[in-house]
């Protein structure tokens, strides 16, 4: 027993006479008296010398005759924890006192032991637990502070513990209908009432995900969260877009599965997301417009140089090529000015002007076919011409002296106008190209930008299919009705 304690006192409870019959080396350094005629009279002076000032009054009170002796009567134990000053630091100690009878005499035995390591571990754990509780309370306060409503429930017992709603979010008239805890205490019944009387959008999904069975199954599968988007019917307002988040946890005291459901009003978030989408679209269109403004200087220089050479040998042909060159420039400038749809015949004029210039450079290596069943529809400026340009540059031109054929087709197909540009050139790996563009690679063919413009402005689709060494087919499908023609440039 002595090895556990720093010191052991034997005190006569009647006279107060005491002896210290064991003392460790570290305790011996405190220079306390080993014996004396009255422990209780010597107590204040000894305590003042070695005990932490903040613990002085507490220790003197707990070890006074009036407190100590009644505390150990009837076989009870008296315990206190305090700090002793050792080597310029405060060290936690524990004192235990017990009254025993030996040889017909009563002895008050007191043992003092060093519990500093244990106490500091406990204090650290308490601090961590306190910090964790504070964080949890702060998080919960932040969550509930921005929530439109919340529900607290015991899923194991199917009991509703609490619920609250924000009047500003749903309207006073709606909240007055919500049953209070006295009318509905069952979680399942409460959720059924909410589904039938409040939820007006995505009702089936809300019923399924908010159900007790689904949430318990989630927890048993290791999922601690679930979510569902829906709409709430608000009096005098449009339906309110909402999102419910379900947090599942096991209560340690009862081992029951509990739920905290937090519902958020997504009206402002939805508006912000829509504005952000509009800004991103406008920025993207601005970048596309800037790209169109560059007009490939190398093509312009080459075309002008070739026309200059033709002017000496064939002035009339040079004049015709200058007309084509002017039409091509006009198409580029028009695309820079606005994005309004134009008649297909106008875009066809741009295509013919461009191909005439390229034919001057490529000669018999380029063959153009036109299979036009329909032309009475609208299309974006510079949407077909770049597809023809891609077919020539990336298909025909790369075949060298062999050259190739580019075919432009139009037709009516159900509710769509269909435009196809096909070549029998070298082809390419479409999937590999689109992966490269998605991860930041260069969009050398401009397909991504053409597709974006067609989708955003006309609701049209652009599909590209290609087989290496066989050729490429680009297909534009334009809806005949309901196409959202919008201008992003004003």
Residues in contact with 333: Cβ distance below 8 Å, sequence separation at least 6, in sequence order: none
pTM: 0.42
Tokens of 64: 């006074």
Compute the distance between CA of residue 248 and CA of residue 259 in angstroms, rounded to an integer: 5
Compute the distance between CA of residue 459 and CA of residue 375 in angstroms, rounded to an integer: 19
Q: E strand or H helix at 41, and its extent?
A: helix 39-50
Compute the distance between CA of residue 407 and CA of residue 388 in angstroms, rounded to an integer: 9
Q: Which of 483, 477, 472, 383 is nearest to 425 (CA)?
A: 472
Question: Between the CA atoms of 472, 363, 408 and 326, what dihedral angle is there, to the nearest 10 degrees?
Answer: 120
DSSP code of residue 457? I
Q: What angle do CA 226, 232, 237 make, to 5 degrees?
A: 150
Burial class (CB in 10 A: 0-12, 13-18, 19+), 369: exposed
Give the count of beta carbons closer than 10 Å to the beta carbon of residue 149. 23
Given CA atoms 192, 193, 196, 199 in this order, what sign does their dihedral have? negative
Tokens of 420: 């196809």
Per-residue model confidence as pLDDT tens for the chain (490 residues): 445 888 999 999 999 999 988 888 888 888 888 899 999 999 999 999 899 999 999 999 999 999 999 999 988 999 999 999 988 899 999 999 999 988 888 999 999 999 999 999 999 888 888 777 777 656 555 555 566 777 888 999 999 887 666 555 444 444 456 666 667 889 999 889 888 888 888 899 999 999 999 999 999 999 889 999 888 876 667 788 888 889 899 988 889 999 888 888 877 767 777 776 766 666 555 555 544 444 454 456 556 666 666 666 677 766 776 777 777 666 666 655 566 788 999 889 888 888 888 888 788 889 999 999 999 999 988 889 889 988 988 888 888 888 899 999 999 999 999 999 999 988 888 777 766 655 555 555 578 778 888 887 888 999 999 888 889 999 999 998 754 444 433 3
Q: What domains lie within the chain, and their CATH numbers?
A: 7-114 (3.30.450.20), 146-265 (3.30.450.20), 276-479 (3.30.565.10)
């Amino acid at each position: 027993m002595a090895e556990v304690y720093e010191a052991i006192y034997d005190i006569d409870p009647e006279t107060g006479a005491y002896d210290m019959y064991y003392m460790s080396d570290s305790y011996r350094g405190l220079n306390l008296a080993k014996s004396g005629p009255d422990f209780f009279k010597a107590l204040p002076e000894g305590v003042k010398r070695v005990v932490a000032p903040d613990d002085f009054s507490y220790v003197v009170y707990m070890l006074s005759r009036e407190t100590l002796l009644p505390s150990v009567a009837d076989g009870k134990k008296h315990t206190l924890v305090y700090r002793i000053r050792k080597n310029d630091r405060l060290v936690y100690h524990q004192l235990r006192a017990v009254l025993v009878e030996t040889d017909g005499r009563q002895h008050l035995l007191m043992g003092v032991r060093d519990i500093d390591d244990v106490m500091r571990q406990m204090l650290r754990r308490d601090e961590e637990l306190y910090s964790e509780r504070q964080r949890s309370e702060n998080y919960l306060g932040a969550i509930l502070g921005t929530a439109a409503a919340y529900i607290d429930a015991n899923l194991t017992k199917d009991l509703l513990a609490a619920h609250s709603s924000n009047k500003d979010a749903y309207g006073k008239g709606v909240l007055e209908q919500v049953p209070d805890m006295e009318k509905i205490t069952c979680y399942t019944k409460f959720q059924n009432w909410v589904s039938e009387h409040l939820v007006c959008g995505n009702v089936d999904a809300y019923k399924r995900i908010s159900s007790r069975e689904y949430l318990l199954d989630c927890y048993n599968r290791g999922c601690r969260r679930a979510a569902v988007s829906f709409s709430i019917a608000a009096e005098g307002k449009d339906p309110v877009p909402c999102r419910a988040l379900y947090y599942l946890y096991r209560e340690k005291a009862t081992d029951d599965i509990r739920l905290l459901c937090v519902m958020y009003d997504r009206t402002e978030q939805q508006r912000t997301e829509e504005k952000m989408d509009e800004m991103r679209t406008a920025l993207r269109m601005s970048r596309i417009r800037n790209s169109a403004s560059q007009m490939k200087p190398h093509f312009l220089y080459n075309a002008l140089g070739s026309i200059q050479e033709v002017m000496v040998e064939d002035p009339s042909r040079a004049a015709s090529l200058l007309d084509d060159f002017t039409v091509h420039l006009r198409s580029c400038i028009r695309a820079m000015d606005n994005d309004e749809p134009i008649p297909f015949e106008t875009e066809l004029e741009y295509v013919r002007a461009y191909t005439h210039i390229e034919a001057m450079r490529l000669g018999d290596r380029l063959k153009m076919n036109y299979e036009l069943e329909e032309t009475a529809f609208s299309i974006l400026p510079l949407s077909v011409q770049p597809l023809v340009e891609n077919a020539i540059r990336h298909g025909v031109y790369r075949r060298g002296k062999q050259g190739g054929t580019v075919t432009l087709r139009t037709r009516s197909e159900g509710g769509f106008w269909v435009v196809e540009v096909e070549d029998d050139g070298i082809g390419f790996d479409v999937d590999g190209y689109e992966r490269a563009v998605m991860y930041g690679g260069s969009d050398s063919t401009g397909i991504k930008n053409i597709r974006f413009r067609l989708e955003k402005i006309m609701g049209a689709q652009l599909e590209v299919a290609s087989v290496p060494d066989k050729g490429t087919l680009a297909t534009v499908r334009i809806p005949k009705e309901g196409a959202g023609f919008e201008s992003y440039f004003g």
